[in-house]
Structure 1
Amino acid sequence: MSAQPHQAKRPVTALAGPYGHPLHPILVTVPIGAWVTSMVFDLASHAVPDPDFLARGSLWLIAIGVIGALVAALFGFLDFLVVPPRTAAFRTALVHLSLNLIVTAVYGAAWAWRAGAGTGPVEAGQIALSAVALIALAISGYLGGKLTYRYGVRVADETTQAEGFRS
């Protein structure tokens, strides 16, 4: 194995999670789940007689997602530091990182927009903004999967993996 893939498999610090078990992938489930659920609440706010509780719940979910994304980003950045520059994995990681920062900023702006809104169902423009952000998040998630499953960033090497298949 060349030095570059080997380097990308090891954590830059123990804070990023142990070898073969990074923390970033589990942490991203918080913002993803919060933001997808906020979209469900947004849409449901148009289907119930009293939509205020869903609009408030969506606002809380957006805030939870932003906070969760910032925490996940810290650990993701630690993983980014081990990816060798001038490689396909590095370029993919850079786009993944950039998209996630943009999505987080969009949700931060969406939270500010909604925090000043009145009562009633969530506005169509706010729902459209969330939909665009979720599409960008899905693209970024695809790239994160490519980093893991195609390039093996922070995944244990094949020799370590083979231990699980011995009798």
Structure 2
Amino acid sequence: MVDPSHEQAKRPVSAALAGPYGHPFHPILVTVPIGAWVGSLVFDIASHLVRDPDFLVRGAMWLIALGVIGALAAALAGFLDLFAIPPGTRAFRVGLVHMTLNLLVTAAYAGNFLWRHTDHRLAAGVGGGMLTLNAVSLVVLGISGYLGGKLAYRYGVRVADQTTQAEGFVPTHRPPGPTG
């Protein structure tokens, strides 16, 4: 028998804002901050390998800003997905930790952006503190991503139920019969 609270976590609170059943918006939106922040770390490291790092320093700063904006959009959809999970469950606790880590990472990157924006001594490449904050934030984001994967792939939050999933495994054509 299927637990009704488990089925509740598969349905969107608002299909218009969180994505329809089986197609949540949160997983696609998180690709923006992840890509932007990974790119910013690559630019930070590369800023120490070139003679004129200004374009990489500025590029990393703006990638961080793009990531913060993308993270805020992903957070809105993520909040709605969290509201679909029944409180008091293991999945809800994992969701709260996932959310908290993501908010801390977003705040760290917002602070990193402001630090870079106000520091005009970046002609020699990104400072060690800024690069370290970027790298540590990305590690914490990876931990949070692991928890997000646990919500979807282990607990099935916002994933279609097995009956719906089974539709994808119905043969589209009849296999050839025995020839005799």
TM-score bracket for this pair, using the shorter chain length:
over 0.9
Tell me the distance in 2 between the aligned counterparts of 1:60 and 1:128: 17
Structure of larger gyration radius: 2
For 2:83, the equivalent position in structure 1 comes to: 81
Identify which range, 116-125 or 100-109, moves more after superposition: 116-125
Amino acid at match of 1:102: L
For 2:164, the equivalent position in structure 1 comes to: 160
Q: State the secondary structure of the residue aligned to 1:89.
A: helix
Tell me the distance in 1 between the aligned counterparts of 2:85 and 2:3: 13
For 2:20, the equivalent position in structure 1 comes to: 18
Q: TM-score w.r.t. structure 2 length? A: 0.92
Displacement of 1:117 in angstroms is 1.4
Tell me the distance in 2 between the aligned counterparts of 1:105 and 1:10: 29
For 2:105, the equivalent position in structure 1 comes to: 103
Aligned counterparts, 1:14-163, within 5 A: 14=15, 15-118=17-120, 119-120=122-123, 121-163=125-167
| TM-superposition CA deviations, 1:52-83 (whole Å, max 9, x none) | 00000000000000000000000000100000
- Aligned Cα root-mean-square deviation (Å): 0.5
Percent identity reads 66
| TM-superposition CA deviations, 1:71-119 (whole Å, max 9, x none) | 0000000100000111110000000000000000000000000001123
Identify which range, 55-64 or 114-123, moves more after superposition: 114-123
For 2:177, the equivalent position in structure 1 comes to: none
Q: State the secondary structure of the residue aligned to 1:9.
A: coil
Tell me the distance in 2 between the aligned counterparts of 1:163 and 1:112: 49
Tell me the distance in 1 between the aligned counterparts of 2:18 and 2:114: 31
Tell me the distance in 1 between the aligned counterparts of 2:78 and 2:58: 30
User: Per residue, is there more helix in 1 or in 2?
Assistant: 1
Q: Which runs of 5+ in 2 are unaligned?
A: 172-180
Q: TM-score w.r.t. structure 1 length? A: 0.99
Amino acid at match of 1:161: Q
Tell me the distance in 2 between the aligned counterparts of 1:147 and 1:13: 19
Amino acid at match of 1:105: A
Q: How many residues align?
A: 167
Amino acid at match of 2:134: S
Displacement of 1:16 in angstroms is 0.6
Tell me the distance in 1 between the aligned counterparts of 2:61 and 2:135: 15
